[in-house]
Structure 1
Amino acid sequence: MSDYEPKIVAFFCTWCTYTAADLAGTSRMNYAPNARIIRVMCSGRVDPQFVLLAFKKGADGVLIGGCHPGDCHYQEGNYKAFRRITLLKKMLKQMGIDERRLRLEWISASEGEKVARVINEMTEELRQLGPLRIEEKALPEKEPAYMEAAS
């Protein structure tokens, strides 16, 4: 297990968290290379099925980053993300998946250090939890039609 490196899929809001990740990179801040960042227009646009699909495809953890409450470019997208993630964590728990594997963070464009810290913290926490082992039947069998169209 000492060779285990967790895989993190990170959905970052283009306006805030993605920009902060870019700042962290251009500022040469050190953080674990475990996160695969996917830029989304808003954290509120992260469909719960994207999260489930990430777990199904082998992610050990999913990180969603959005603008601080009140700063969303789409007025209430981050509130929508908060409500969805709260419910999704309950669902994951019922499926036998530790809710710490899903994390929602508010990170503004100027918080490059916070991006690095959050990725490092999540990587370490996932190392402690170990690889995600789930039964195939625990997750949806078929991808949503719009995901098939994107392939």
Structure 2
Amino acid sequence: MDDFEPTIVAFVCNWCTYTAADLAGTSRMIQSPNVRLVRMMCTGMVDPKYVIKALLSGADAVLISGCHPGDCHYINGNYKARRRVKLLKEILPRLGIEEDRLLLTWVGASEGNEFAATVNGLVARIKELGPIEARRTLVV
């Protein structure tokens, strides 16, 4: 399992986390290259189908990250995301996918270091979990 490199899909808020990811990159912070960013206008736009499709199509984990609660540019989008993630964490085990493969975080625009730390921590945790076993038995 030493050569396992996870693929992580990150649905990030345009206004906060995407800006933090850009700050981390331009500041040359050390972060894992395993993450593929999907820029969303708001985390409230992340449909649960997107998460399930990503996990069943090859992603080893999904990160959803946006503005801190109370700071959403769309008033309550991050609260919607929080409710959806809670439901997804109940559904994923039924598909044979550990709920630890889905992470919801709040990263503000000026927190590039927090974004890099989140990404690096998630990659390390997924390396420990290994690839999704359920994907071998499920047909997409």
TM-score if structure 1 supplies the norm length? 0.89
Structure 1 equivalent of residue 110 of structure 2:
110
Q: How does 1:28-39 map to 2 (within 5 A)?
A: 28-39=28-39
* CA-to-aligned-CA distance 1:78-126 (integer Å, 9 cap, x gap): 0000000000010002222111100000000000001100000000000
Structure 1 equivalent of residue 48 of structure 2:
48
* CA-to-aligned-CA distance 1:10-57 (integer Å, 9 cap, x gap): 000000000000000000000100000010000010000000110111
Letter in 2 for 1:91: I
Q: Distance in 2 between matches of 1:47 and 1:133?
A: 24
Structure 2 equivalent of residue 136 of structure 1:
138
1:25 aligns with 2:20: no
Structure 1 equivalent of residue 9 of structure 2:
9
Q: Distance in 1 between matches of 2:23 and 2:104?
A: 19
Task: Compute the displacement of 1:136 (Å).
Answer: 1.4
Matched residue pairs, number? 138
Letter in 2 for 1:131: P
TM-score if structure 2 supplies the norm length? 0.96
RMSD value over aligned CA atoms?
A: 0.9
Q: Distance in 2 between matches of 1:61 and 1:132?
A: 9
Structure 2 unaligned runs (5+)? none
